[in-house]
Structure 1
């Protein structure tokens, strides 16, 4: 019975160690900063460069016993191993005794400050040069490094970091310069400000928006007016041309050949036309005749017209 219990404990322990070892392979160097003037402080309140490690997996793991190094590895291929001869100078071994604080849950971050390792287990024994490569090794320090980070800060200002923007599985990661570093948090690129948000900041009271809207409406109305006016004129001309084409030609003007008429005939025609014209004019004339009143007095002062006449009796 005891043997069975011991077997279960051993199996559980091996399973935990296997899962932990497998989780180490998911560790990634996520962000690096070498010149820290106005950023975060370490546990002693000092501002130094730092290296951010990220657990990209979905199982917990530990950094205890792993190596962070800026020294090139020895060997090649699968036979590479960390150069332990430069311990303290270019290679930092994360203490196994700090296993309780080096545990990393899934998708978690750990920050290692460069400089004096006597401050805490989260301070390395080396400082980062302006240009180089950072290596992350597993606890054995052999084989291919878990992750590498090649950087160059020669043209990057202070307080700016280099961070890995991780794409989807199977896509290539991109290293970008961050003006605002994100230690202990996910690396994200600040979203571009939309034109609407910019306008909202510049036009707090909506004057520009109102003027723009009114201008657009009036411009649209002006364009519609010009279009309708042009179309209307075109349609009027077309209708006028159709009406003119449908009307018979005027018979008012006719060519009169008078070459063969005699003088008597021409005179008779002229007299007839003159008589006809006089007759038309006589009908149109109106005469108004005013006769002078024979009485010498003014009818306006006469009262006779205002008196009532006595009725006459007819017999």
Structure 2
């Protein structure tokens, strides 16, 4: 059966939310704060993958706070939009999407970095081995499949095309298409698209099968960097500061646990999490996991991760200069794991906390 592919032409219009839509988000019944703050955090997951909050919960770092899974997403922009409108209590996306949403008056704040690019964790733009595509100019008139528009992959493609010397008119002739991540490799091999954006375990699984080669990667473009952050609404942070601190600190500890632990043990832990949660998922691809790619200790946000995209979006005309103020976009206030002198979890510090 042919894979369904959808397309939209305007870059980042997926986040063109009205001020009303993003400014009137409410805290739903499941997350109404009590005297001590909510102890339940609603969130969206990713099929066949383990998110850092899920890992943190399994390691025992969330303490009395519990995660409530409300479904899966394949889009960072959709995830943070859901957070901004109060449908979930936190969401994560590419930092350019966070900037764009904040510029549309969404009452959100980035609280911790959760993914990025390094030598192990990166997104690659792959073509078939016999493809004639070798340069940015070769992409004119070609189709590039990615998980969503207006986010990390489209930004990397745009930077690559700019650096390749393409004019804005020529860049407009390259067609980004939305393809579900689990179908992207197959769609490339069936030649329904010319380039496939693959990352993490799906990338390594595709490489192991052979027959494809990288055109470029985001790590090659920008080096090691934190690429995305989890956000919470200003209202949630004000009403539930203790819960927010527990959550952010737990995610920071999980980042450092994943660094300090042999990756085979991390994979075993995540595989066990997938099996225990009973969502009818295939955990086989987890064996290819190597890193979350977060650049700073415990996911601390330095500001440069967001400033890059403020300037870039403004230069493109996607936001107006001054619409997004860096100091208003993020906080490290709730990240005790990133504070100076904070202990880093050892490889076996939480070995006994996993339930059955």
Does TM, scored on the shorter chain, surpass 0.5? Answer: no
Give me the TM-score of the superposition, normalised by structure 2: 0.19
Give me the TM-score of the superposition, normalised by structure 1: 0.21
Answer with 1 or 2: which has the greater Rg. Answer: 1
Specify which structure has the bigger relative contact order, considering alpha-carbon pairs within 8 angstroms and separated by 6 or more residues: 2
